[in-house]
Amino acid sequence: MLNGWDTFFIMTGTAGATLTGLSFVVITLCVRLSGTRAAQGVHAFVTPTLVHFGGVLFQSLVLVVPWPSAWPLAIILGLAGLTGLVYVIVVVRMLRRLDFVALDLRDWVAYAGAPALANVSLIAGAAGLIAGDWFAPYAIAGSVTLLLFVGIHDAWDLTLWIVRNQDMK
């Protein structure tokens, strides 16, 4: 069912790994922020970004394995999607605790809505693999792509936030 998708998942996995490394470069910009209120904000935003990129890498690696059947792959991807949904709840709780950051609708979509949608798509794709439905590879690819672009958005947003708040005590 996933024949012909190898190149796509190799490319997205490579992008996820590369962007994870670049995120660590962004984190080095935060050295001056340690011990400040801004450090709490950075933690609240950088961790989800790294989780998204790590999720892209993990899913892509799992998808290029030559599984003997769809069941193990579907179980792993379904559990990853469920874990991702739980993590969205953790992120929402973490962001709601920040008292010095005013989040607007765009922020909530980027940090909660789009990741939730990506994980629901991953769960649907996993169920589609088990059922042998044609949409399964597309739902999984959509999930991986959405997480990749959410991570890119969040990394850029974090970088701009760090630059603007370097003097925060």
Closest CA to 12 of 140, 159, 160, 154: 140
Instruction: Return the closest-CA partner of residue 127 out of 113, 143, 103, 115.
Output: 143
- Structure-block tokens of residue 126: 């996993």
pLDDT at 10: 81
User: Measuring CA to CA, which residue among 12, 16, 3 is closest to residue 155?
Assistant: 16
pLDDT reported for residue 37? 61
Q: What is the pLDDT of residue 109?
A: 92
- Of the CA atoms within 13 Å of residue 168, those in its CB half-sphere come to 20
pLDDT of 160 reads 79
Q: What count of residues does the chain have? A: 169
Q: Do residues 39 and 33 make contact, with C-beta atoms less than 8 angstroms apart?
A: yes
Count helices and strands (H / E) in the chain: 6, 0
Q: Which amino acid is at 43?
A: H
Question: What pLDDT does residue 82 have?
Answer: 98
Q: Is 56 helix (H, G, I), strand (E, B) or coil?
A: helix
pLDDT in tens, 76-110: 999 999 999 999 999 999 888 876 667 788 888 98
Domain ranges in the chain? 6-164
Which residues of the chain are modeled with pLDDT < 70?
Answer: 1-2, 26-27, 29-42, 99-101, 165-169
Placement of tokens 């739980």 in the chain: 86
Cα atoms in the 13 Å half-sphere on the side-chain side of 3: 2
Q: Do the beta carbons of residue 114 and residue 151 sit within 8 Å?
A: no
